[in-house]
Amino acid sequence: MKLITAIIKPHKLEEVKDAVQNLGVKGLTVTDARGFGRQGGHTEVYRGAEYEIAFVPKVRLEIVADDPDVDRIVESLLATARTGKIGDGKVWVVPVETAYRIRTGEVGPDAI
Amino acid sequence: MPQLDTGDTAWVLTASALVLFMTPGLAFFYGGMVRSKNVLAMLMQNFFAMGIVTVLWVLVGYSLAFGAGSSSGLIGNFDYVGLKDLTNAMSGTIPTLAFVGFQLTFAVITPALITGAIADRMRWSAWVGFITLWSLVVYLPVAHWVFSPAGWLFKRGALDFAGGTVVHVNAGAAALALVLILGRRKNWPGEPMPPHSLPLTLLGTGILWFGWFGFNAGSALAANAVAAQAFLNTFVAAAAAMLGWLIVERLKSGHATTLGAASGAVAGLVAITPCAGFVGGLAPIAIGFAAGAVCFLAVSLKFRFKYDDSLDVVAVHLVGGILGSILLGLFADKSVNPAGHDGVFFGGEWNALGEQVLAVAVVLVFSFVVAAAIGYALKAILPGGIRVSEDDEDTGLDLTQHSETGYALERV
């Protein structure tokens, strides 16, 4: 099993959700996130005074997937979250030792 | 005894309610501009004005502001303490109690204006002390000087229709004094402290604009042509000032902003306040437009001189109040209101303009000096001083001063 984490542009969330759902993904977790990458922050102006806002709003998306499904999900994420402009985000994958479903007590890939 | 006019009485009572509504409007105007950890403290400082000033007004305030007093015209007297003997009294065509209520709403909002300058760092107990003392020692005498027919500036012929000096210059000068004593917010101006909710600020602006019709048109104290002129002037000046601010803002910083639209409208309302019942024609467009442009430019003063007037009370209320009070000496038109006199543009004497400048200067200096004295006294007397600790400033005033949180959206 793997944990796929993606940081994406907030307006891409619905599109990404539909795409991975079509691949059979049964659940994912979304968190509002802030951060900076190569895009950097942006400037806001209040009564003529400029403020550098260092952290840009992003969405953090987490999916736990069984090994055979991981590549397809990642490909789909990369395709749908992409606009081609700076600030599209990142995707990374890390191994997951095990997983449990709280309601039934199922363990491992069955719990996904 | 003059005859009671039901129309006049109904209008002044209605106008009083409109003006009272400005204080919560101001609370939201300011509240939206602070960071979310300080929103309740800002609202509370404003709402509290409705509590403390009202009680003070009934006990001694009205009497000291509008009692006949001595011939010096410096302060009223104790004849009406506890509103004694006013139950059936008349003031012109309205019951005196309607006038008492109307003037009370002015006494409430004036110190509330100061809260924008001291945002994010004043201890709650220090604010309670300050608003109490400043209302008694500064607001009451100044209201007597300018608004009471027995007041010395009134008798000299200074014009102030609805409070350019009494309300705006007065509060603005006190705000500047308090800012200098309190010091800057931690990490200002390096750290960005952007508004947490401009929608609240725009909502507050709408409430202020709405209530200001009562403030200015109500100051005619009658339902008559002067009230209608003041009503329209108020409307037009706010609109022109919004345009003035936005144009200069767009040219200077590249964008026309919602905060700019709101700030411009308020600047115009401030500047037209002394003029409202004394000018006509296109004057409110000129006064409003000038206020929008000048007040926008005045915001940059705090960065140049490094005083942390957090929400620009000096730039909007002090500068706007001075501008309106002085422009009145130019634009006043006796054909609009026979109780006034002609300004320089209408064939009036230059010394009428001089009286406007004198009234502004006297109120500015008096309020600044006495507010500073009160600030230093409280700093010395209060065990914790007048400013919160650095830790409390980091945590925010909502939690540290009031044990509350403005937005508990994350809690289940």
Q: DSSP string covering B236-296, please?
A: HHHHHHHHHHHHHHHHHHS---HHHHHHHHHHHHHHHTTTTTT--TTHHHHHHHHHHHHHH
B245 contact residues in A (CB cutoff 8 A): none
Q: Quick one: tokens of B222?
A: 């009658």
Q: Looking at the predicted structure, is the pLDDT value of residue B365 above 90?
A: yes
pLDDT at position A54 is 86
Interface test with A, best of B257, B263, B319 (most A CBs within 10 A): B257
- Is residue B409 assigned to a domain? no
Report CB contact under 8 Å: B194, A52: no
Q: Please tell me what DSSP assigns to residue B407.
A: -
pTM for the model: 0.91
Q: How far apart are CA B411 and CA B396, in angstroms?
A: 18
ipTM of this complex prediction, to 2 decimal places = 0.78
CATH number at residue A55: 3.30.70.120
Q: How close does chain A come to B210, measured CA to CA in Å? A: 23
Q: Which residues of B touch A49 (CB under 8 A)?
A: 189, 299, 303
Question: Rounded to an integer, what distance in angstroms lies between the CA atom of residue B310 and that of residue B179?
Answer: 9
Look at residue B132 and tell me if it is in a domain: yes
Half-sphere exposure of B397 (CA within 13 A, CB side): 24
Which amino acid makes up residue A71?
D
Range(s) of the domain holding residue A78: 2-111
- Residue numbers in A near B300 (CB within 8 A): 48
Q: Please name which of B251, B333, B329, B331 lies closest in space to residue B292, comparing C-alpha atoms.
A: B251
Contact list in B for residue A48 (CB cut-off 8 A) is: 249, 252-253, 296, 299-300
Q: What's the pLDDT band for B7 if we cut at 50, 70, 90? A: very high
How many domains, in total, are found in chain A? 1
Instruction: Say if the Cβ atoms of B192 and A52 lie within 8 Å.
Output: yes
Q: What is the CATH number of the domain that holds B289?
A: 1.10.3430.10
User: pLDDT category, B411, cuts 50, 70, 90?
Assistant: low
Q: Which of B273, B266, B263 is nearest to B324 (CA)?
A: B273
Q: Which of A32, A42, A47 should we substitute to test contact with B (largest number of B Cβ atoms within 10 Å)? A: A47
The answer to whether residue B372 is domain-embedded is yes
Tell me how many domains chain B contains: 1
Is the residue at B280 inside a domain?
A: yes
Residues of chain A with pLDDT under 70: none
Name chain A contacts of B257, Cβ cutoff 8 Å. 45-47
Interval B238-269: pLDDT, tens: 999 999 999 999 999 999 999 999 999 999 99
Percentage of residues of chain B with pLDDT beyond 90: 94
Tell which residue, A71, A62, A59, has the closest CA to residue A96. A62
**Is B300 close to A48, i.e. CB distance below 8 A?**
yes
- Do B296 and A48 lie within an 8 Å CB cutoff? yes
B245/chain A closest Cα distance in angstroms? 10
pLDDT tens-digit readout, B188-246: 988 889 999 999 999 999 999 999 999 999 999 999 999 999 999 999 999 999 999 99
The answer to whether residue B296 sits within a structural domain is: yes
Residue range(s) defining the domain that contains residue B276: 6-402
- Contact list, B263 vs chain A (CB under 8 Å): 47
The whole-number average pLDDT for the span B331-360 is 92
Judge contact between B226 and B277, C-beta under 8 A. Answer: yes
| Buried/exposed A54-75: b ≥16 CB within 10 Å, e otherwise | eebebbbbebbbeeebbeebbe
* Residue type at B313 in one-letter notation: V
Which residue's entry shows tokens 């950097």?
A40
Query: What φ, ψ does residue B160 adopt, rounded to 5°?
Result: -155, 100
Give the span between the Cα atoms of B90 and B82, in whole angstroms.
Answer: 17
Give me the residues of A, 30-89, that contact B with CB < 8 A. Answer: 44-53
DSSP string, B101-121: HHHHHHHHHHHHHHTTTTTTT
Tell me the torsion sign for CA atoms B404, B193, B117, B326.
Answer: negative
